[in-house]
Each structure stands twice: as C-alpha cells, then as structure tokens.
Amino acid sequence: MLALLFLAPSLIGFAVFYIIPFAMGVYESFTDRTLGGSFVGFDNYKELLASSSFRKAAANTLLFTGLSVPLLIAASLSLALLLNRPLFFRNGLRTAFILPLVVPVASIVMIWQIFADWNGTLNLWLHHWGKERVDWLQSDWSMGVLVIMYLWKNIGYNMILFLAGLQSIPQDYYETARIEGAGRLRQLVHITLVYLTPTMFFVILISIINSFKVFRETYLLAGDYPYDRIYMLQHYMNNMFFSLDIQKLTAAATLMVGCIVLFVTGLLRAERRFRDNME
Amino acid sequence: MSKLVLTIWLGVMAAIMLVPIVLTFTNSLMMEREIGLNYDLIGQMTDAAAGGKFVNLKVLPDWLSLEQYLHILVLAPKFLRMFWNSAALVVPIIAGQTAVAALAAYAFAKLRFFGRDKLFLLYLMTMLMPFQVTLVPNYMVVDKLGLMNSGAAIILPGIFGAFGVFMLRQFMAHIPFAYTEAAKIDGAGSWTIFARIILPLAKPGLAALTVLLFVDYWNMIEQPIIFLQDASMQPLSLYLAYIDKEARGIGFAASALYMTPMVLLFLYAESYFIEGVQLSGIKG
C-alpha cells in the first residue's frame, strides 16, 4: 500500500503516455481505419510484410543492430582491458573516450559530412593514394559510416561499464590461475570473460537501446529519405505517419515490439540460467 | 607491452576520438568567408572525371575571428531563441523525471509489493522501445489532452520516461539494507528513510541520470519533428540540421555553443557520473 504512494506519480504518467498508447496501437493494427474501424484480423500485417519498403527498412535495422552491437562490444571490451592495465594519465584517457557520449549529434554532424562527402576529406585521402573516390553517403558504404558514428559515440559508455565489471573480479583468481600455469589467453577466457558475463547482459541491453538512436545521425546526415541502405524502421514509421498510413505504422510498431520483447525475454532467461550455474 | 608504450598508444586513440570535437571549436573561429571558401563544394555533385577537387578539413583558421559568434549571438537572435527553446524543454524533463523516477525507484528497490518484478520488467521493456513505436497513439493522447504544438507534448512524456526509474532502481538496490533497517528501528517512516537516507546516498546515481537525460533530450530529434511543427518553437537540434545546409558559415560556432553546456556539465560531474553509471550496471 505504502509502495503505491511512491509509485503512483510514475505509474499514472507511465500508463497515460506509454502503456495505454501502446495498447491503442496494438488495437489499431488490427482494424482497417483509425478510430472506430472494424476488425480485419491480420490484414494489415499481410500488407505490411508484402511492402518492399518495410522489408528493406526491417532488414537494414536488423543488419545495423546485428553489425554494430557486437562490434561495439568487442571494441569497448578491448579498450576496457587496456585501460585496466598499468598506465599513465588513466583518468585523462578515460575522459577522452567518454567525451563523445555527451556531444550532441547535431553539433558534430557537419564535421562528419565534410569528412564523408563526395568531395570530402576521406575521398581526398583516397585520391592521394591513387584510389577512386567513393560516394560514402550515397552507397552501401553509408551503413559503414553510421556504424563508425555509433562506435565513436558509444564506446565510452560501454567501456566504463566493463571497467566496473573488471574491477569487481577478485585478483586472487588470477594469482591462483598463474600458479597453476594458466596463460594469458586462458585467464582471459576462463576468468575475465566468465565473470564479466553479468555486465555483458547489461551492456547488450544498453547497446541495443543506443543502436535505435542512430536514427538521429541518419536523419541529420540524410533527412527523411536517406540512401536505401540506411533507411531504417524508424524512417519507415515516421514516413508512414506523415502519409497517414496509420494501419501499416501500428502493425510495424507492434511487430517491432514483439521482436524486442522476445529478444529481451531470451536474454533475461539466459542471464538467470547463467547465475544459477555460477552458484 | 610496457606502461609507456601502452599510454602512448591509447593516447593516440584518444586524440583521434577527440578530433571531431576539436575541429568544431577551431573551425568556429574562422571567418564566414573562409568557411565558404573551404567547404563550398560539400554536397555538390562534381564530375569524378574532372579530377582532383576536394574539400580538406581545416584544422587551424588562417585568421582568428569571433565573427561567427558575433553573428549568431548578436546579429541573428534566432539562435538564442532556439537555444532557449531547447533549455525550456530539457530542464523540466530532467527535473520532473528525476523526481518521479526517484520515488518509483525507491519503491522498486526497497519496498515489497505484489507484482513488483513483473512491473519493473514492463518498465525495462518500454525503455528499449524506439520513440516511433508509440508514435500514433501518443499523437492521439497528446491531441486529446490539447497539447499539440506545445512544449508539454514533449515534456510530459519525457517526465514519465522509464529510463530514470530503471537507472535509479539499479543504483538504489546497492544501498545496503542495514542502513534502512537501522532507521526503521529508530522509528523512521518510509518517507523519512527515502528523504534522509536513500536520496543523499543516491547522489551519484542522480548525477549520472541528470547527465544522461541532458545528453538524450538536448539532442532530441524524434519528438520535435512530430509534435512541434511550428518552427519558432523548435529546439536547437533541428535548427542545426537546417544550418548545416543553408548557412554553413555560422554552423561551427552554433555547434560549439550547442555542445558547450553538455561538455561543461559532464566535466563538472564526471566522477559522480562514472560511479553512477558503473553501479547501475552491476546487479544489485
């Protein structure tokens, strides 16, 4: 009862602005017209799945998340491992890696543009090396540019999470391993990575949330209709909104939520299993 | 690898990370004419066969000048107004979400009630969803409440965002029960425990949340392009998107001023921020 008093403000707003809208969205996705349409079953979904621009957007989103999240985790973990060794100026270096996180995308996008433009600096370098120029933002490379921007921004956040995880591993585990003659690699795999697993689950969640936020980078770099390769689900949903195709939009949203819920449930189950095994 | 070699190696990487930020500041000290001369080719389709015409990112200006700053701060008041628009959206969201989330997080972390873990999972799932997922129904709710084209359309959903609850509950879960138990024995009620014990101890978590919310909302694009069609109300993030194309000459100074509050806040609260983020990531 008491708990309810503390929860009430959050719960009311959360229901009004998130849960009820979402339930309305699910309902809309099964009707043929916004507000008071009749029930049409899975028709909107069929139409959605048949739409080539939806399929393109879904594939791009999946590709981006599938590519950038593992890359980010590998890069930030390596960085954390290096920063955890004896080092001069550790705090200064750490600050430098986190700083991109707090820099707003909109204020940095001009530099990226000048760098990756058809006439830009990257192509200038290619030219110097005697290579043909590449249209980085208007070709399949555009996804690569986005991945780099995502890594640049998010590496610091994951790095400090991993650093905390590393520092929570007792040093005597490594000592025992060394006495028993385990090499560096064995220690990394059997001690470091095992004890980092709980951190890893959290890092994966945060990285996925942040991977959905590259919409901002894409929007600022390329507007409502960017090159095909970086046309994401968020663009699709935004454009469906502006063209008032509400049924497709809500169906796409419901589908996306379904996938996220399935994935997170799987992740949490894996985490629980891992914790049970450790105990 | 010796300590020195590793330091140098990481130093080079750190320097590369900082390049875009440093370049924004150095370029903001160029004259508009110099920006024009340097970067005019950006966004234009030149014939590849015509050969070598490129734009090089310039590190140092030929002439140091505050012309860009003068332009946006004195001659064109639009910038300041949009800066104000951004602040007027972000400050209430941060204050509101921190307060609402601290209360809820306390209930999730320290009180016992039916369905607690399931409800928390619901918050967690919601936190993962991109804004567009609830776009339509949100639009309807905002419309019904008569908030369309007003800051409240962005502020209210912002205040009740799930991220703050999640982050602070993770943090508060680390506060040992011994503290709260001791207070309970001394006859303190839940409110006293929350206000006198939990809140002061959660300071790093609150600092980390403030920085992260500031970063997220100072940056917002998704919400204003839907809810604020009126250009005079839009925040700076959208104005910069426009400036990049139309008025590149003053873009760097605008960008530099735009990122400065964030960078200063972060440097000021850095140790709290790192502690807060780190504790939120460890299972409590």
The predicted-structure confidence for A141-193, as pLDDT tens digits, reads as follows 889 999 999 999 999 999 999 999 999 888 888 888 888 888 888 888 888 99
Q: What's the pLDDT score for residue B246?
A: 67
CB contact under 8 A, A203 and B281: yes
- Number of structural domains chain A divides into: 1
Cβ-Cβ contacts under 8 Å between A and B: the total is: 307
- Show the domain range for A189: 62-233
Tokens of B228: 């604020």
Tokens of A78: 């390596």
Tokens of B230: 């009126």
CB contact under 8 A, A237 and B252: no
Interface of A with B in 151-190 (CB under 8 A): 152, 155, 157, 160-161, 163-165, 168
What is the number of H-type helices and E-type strands within chain B?
15, 0
Distance from CA of B130 to the nearest CA of A (A): 6
Residue B150's CATH number = 1.10.3720.10
- B156 is a domain residue: yes
Amino acid making up residue B124:
L
Q: What's the pLDDT score for residue A121?
A: 82
Helix axes B135-144, B152-159, angle to 10 degrees: 120
* E strands, chain A, in order: none
- Number of structural domains chain B divides into: 1
**List of residues 6+ apart from A220 with CB closer than 8 A:** A105, A106, A109, B221, B240, B241, B244
- H or E, element range at B227: helix B222-227
Q: How many CB atoms lie within 10 A of CB A5?
A: 13
- B68 is a domain residue: no
- H or E, element range at A196: helix A193-212
| Measured CA angle at B91 (ends B242, A241), to 5 deg | 50
- A40 is a domain residue: no
CB B276 within 8 A of CB B207: yes
Tokens of A152: 């640049």
At A31, give phi and psi (nearest 5°): -115, 170
Low-confidence ranges of chain A (pLDDT < 50): none
Q: Which residue in A217, A213, A207 sits closest to A157, CA to CA? A: A207
Tokens of A259: 């996938």
CB A237 within 8 A of CB A48: no
Residue A72's CATH number = 1.10.3720.10
| Measured CA angle at A203 (ends A200, A206), to 5 deg | 155
Task: For residue B7, give Cα distances in angstroms to A85, A101, A128, A184, B1.
Answer: 10, 22, 31, 20, 10
**List of residues 6+ apart from A232 with CB closer than 8 A:** A57, A60, A61, A64, A214, A215, A218
| Measured CA angle at A62 (ends A59, A66), to 5 deg | 140
- A159 is a domain residue: yes
- A205 is a domain residue: yes
Q: What's the pLDDT score for residue B1?
A: 63
CB contact under 8 A, B42 and A117: yes
Interface residue of A18, A79, A217, A257 to substitute, partner B, most B CBs within 10 Å: A18
Which residues partner with A39 through β-bridges? A31
Write out chain B residues lying below 8 Å of A268, CB-based.
Answer: 121
Q: In chain B, whose CA is at the least distance from the CA of A35?
A: B140
- Show the domain range for B188: 73-281
Q: What's the pLDDT score for residue A77?
A: 96
Q: What's the pLDDT score for residue B49?
A: 53
- What is the C-alpha radius of gyration for chain B, rounded to an integer number of angstroms? 24
- A95 is a domain residue: yes
- B49 is a domain residue: no
Q: What's the pLDDT score for residue A35?
A: 66
- A209 is a domain residue: yes
What is the number of H-type helices and E-type strands within chain A?
14, 0
Task: List the pLDDT tens digit at each of the 284 positions of chain B.
Answer: 688 999 999 999 999 999 999 999 998 888 887 877 777 777 766 665 555 677 777 778 888 888 888 888 888 778 888 889 999 999 999 999 999 999 999 999 988 889 999 999 999 888 888 888 888 888 888 888 888 888 888 999 999 999 999 999 989 998 888 888 888 888 888 888 999 889 999 999 999 999 999 988 998 888 888 888 887 888 888 888 777 666 777 888 889 999 999 999 999 999 999 988 888 877 64
CB B69 within 8 A of CB B76: no
- B58 is a domain residue: no
pTM for this predicted structure: 0.90
